[in-house]
Amino acid sequence: MSKILGRTAVAGLLAAVFAVAAHAAPSVDGANGVVRGEQHGIDYRSGGISKEGQQAMHRGEGRYDLHVVLSAGRHHAYVADARVDVKDARGHDVLHLRDAGPLVDAKLPPGDYTVSARYGTAERMQKVHVGADKPAAAYLHFGEHAVS
């Protein structure tokens, strides 16, 4: 009897672990390339490479508290494939994205954050404050010689 109960408990535990992992895995909208996911309880999305992706990102802006724009060059062209990190005021990781951009949105509680991004060999950082009713924006621009 205990052997069967043990197997049932293990099976239940494995099912719970896979359910959590599936929930945390990002998903990609094939129509516009926007990636949606969740880390540390923070919902986020990243995309905007195509015109359709940019439109999709702009449509839902009001639901997010942090907006990040990544650009490079003298014409401020959008860049993707950047690493984006968001840390809270205590320096704890809130969000860590690879291959992000050019637009990134996150639902954050009010507070102070540091947003940093690496594109090629260049790194940029900006401090932002998310208010209770006021979203924050970080515009991270990499110079003309940034290499992806």
CATH of the domain at 123: 2.60.40.10
On the question of pLDDT at 13 being above 60, the answer is no
- Please report whether residue 117 resides in a domain: yes
- Please report whether residue 18 resides in a domain: no
- At 46, the pLDDT band (50, 70, 90 cuts) reads very high
Structure-token pair, residue 76: 């401020």
- Please report whether residue 20 resides in a domain: no
- Please report whether residue 65 resides in a domain: yes
Q: How many domains does the structure of the chain reveal?
A: 1
Structural domain range at position 38: 28-142
pLDDT (average), residues 111-135: 95
- Please report whether residue 56 resides in a domain: yes
Structure-token pair, residue 57: 């990102």
- Please report whether residue 14 resides in a domain: no
**Residue 130 DSSP label:** E
- Please report whether residue 147 resides in a domain: no
On the question of pLDDT at 23 being above 60, the answer is no
**What share of the chain in percent tops pLDDT 70?**
81
- Please report whether residue 19 resides in a domain: no
Minimal CA–CA distance to 118: which of 79, 91, 87? 79
Q: DSSP states of 56-120 as a string?
A: HHHHTGGG-SEEEEEEETTTTEE--SEEEEEEETT--EEEEEEEE-SEEEE---SEEEEEEEEET
- At 145, the pLDDT band (50, 70, 90 cuts) reads low
Q: Within the chain, what is the greatest distance between any pair of CA atoms?
A: 71
Per-residue model confidence as pLDDT tens digits over 64-120: 999 999 999 888 999 999 999 999 999 999 999 999 999 999 999 999 999 999 999
- At 47, the pLDDT band (50, 70, 90 cuts) reads very high
Structure-token pair, residue 56: 């999709």
